[in-house]
Amino acid sequence: MEKQHLFIDFEFTMPEKSSKFKGFYPEIIEVGIVAVVGDSIREQFSSYVVPRKFSTLSRRCKSFLHISQEQVNNGISLYDLMKKLETICGGYQNIIVTWGNMDMKVLKDNCQKAQLPFIVSCKEVDLSMEYKRFFGDKNQTGLWKAVREYGREGTGKHHRALDDALTTYHIFRLVEQDKKYMGKSNQPTIGDLIDMSKLLNKFA
């Protein structure tokens, strides 16, 4: 079965100090998915998602994410999001790549609370931890800080789900290129195998 990488980013609801948010838990309100097979983007998907429990967005959430209540109200349901994810995954050996571990935790928690089965079969990769291990950083780096450390800019706007998913894909490609380069640099070169000074003296 052919391998497919799914670069996924979600934006979540945020609470405010109010009795309205008692028992609050984060819910997905925007999704961005970039499906990659080989070196090509096979599909991109972006949508707002209607939260079930706390349907009214807090002022903090709207201000921080620049998402309006109307946009979210016109989004798809969590059920439709899961159906879309299952469709994209169908027929492939899937690896879901996210920046940080919150995205998949919140998705699974939302499904559990909505009593929706999580039947997507996939391997999950937290690229922020891969990045941390690869570069030996003590602290986890933010997504857009990481891309700037590569001397690049993120795609589109930070905290827009599809833009962040595309930026995660770009960092993944850069890290994979560096891994290949580091792997090659560990191979002995012709200079390592031959003592050039002895060779030159022989022909002097």
List residues with catalytic annotation: 11, 159
Asked if residues 33 and 44 have their Cβ atoms less than 8 Å apart, the reply is yes
Q: How far apart are CA 160 and CA 158, in angstroms?
A: 6
Name the nearest CA neighbour of 131 among 164, 170, 94, 104. 170
Q: How far apart are CA 72 and CA 58, in angstroms?
A: 12
Name the nearest CA neighbour of 11 among 86, 82, 107. 107
Q: How far apart are CA 171 and CA 36, in angstroms?
A: 14
Both tokens of 112, joined, read: 């559990």
